[in-house]
């Protein structure tokens, strides 16, 4: 597929990109090069190749999804300006 100046101008308008006339010829060449690389990639035989989700092949370690309080409220609330038992104490803001 080959693009001409009118097509590149239309694409730039759709993408809301301002392309000056002096840059138009350069952009036509660059976009045509990109499209030729894509055409080369389309020629590669990928039948029987599984999609790749990760290049390392490792799964992320999972932990049990358990609800807990953290088991150390004193450390969590150590810098709290005001606390009530094991909770933050905040001033009332709604009447």
Average pLDDT over residues 32-37: 95
Distance CA 26, CA 3 (A): 12
Q: What is the pLDDT, as a whole number, of residue 50?
A: 85
pTM over 0.85: no
Rg of the chain, C-alpha, whole Å: 30
Nearest-angstrom CA–CA distance, 4 and 29: 9
Handedness of CA 70, 73, 77, 83 (dihedral sign): positive
Provide the pLDDT confidence category of residue 38 given band limits of 50, 70 and 90. very high
């Amino acid at each position: 597929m080959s693009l001409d100046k009118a097509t590149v101008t239309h694409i730039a308008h759709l993408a809301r990109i301002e392309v000056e006339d002096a840059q138009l010829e350069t952009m036509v060449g660059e976009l045509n090069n990109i499209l030729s690389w894509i055409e080369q990639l389309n020629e590669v035989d990928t039948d029987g190749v599984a999609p790749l989700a990760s290049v390392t092949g490792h799964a992320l370690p999972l932990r049990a999804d358990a609800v807990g309080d953290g088991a150390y409220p004193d450390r969590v609330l150590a810098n709290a300006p005001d606390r009530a038992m094991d909770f933050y104490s905040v001033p009332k803001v709604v009447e």
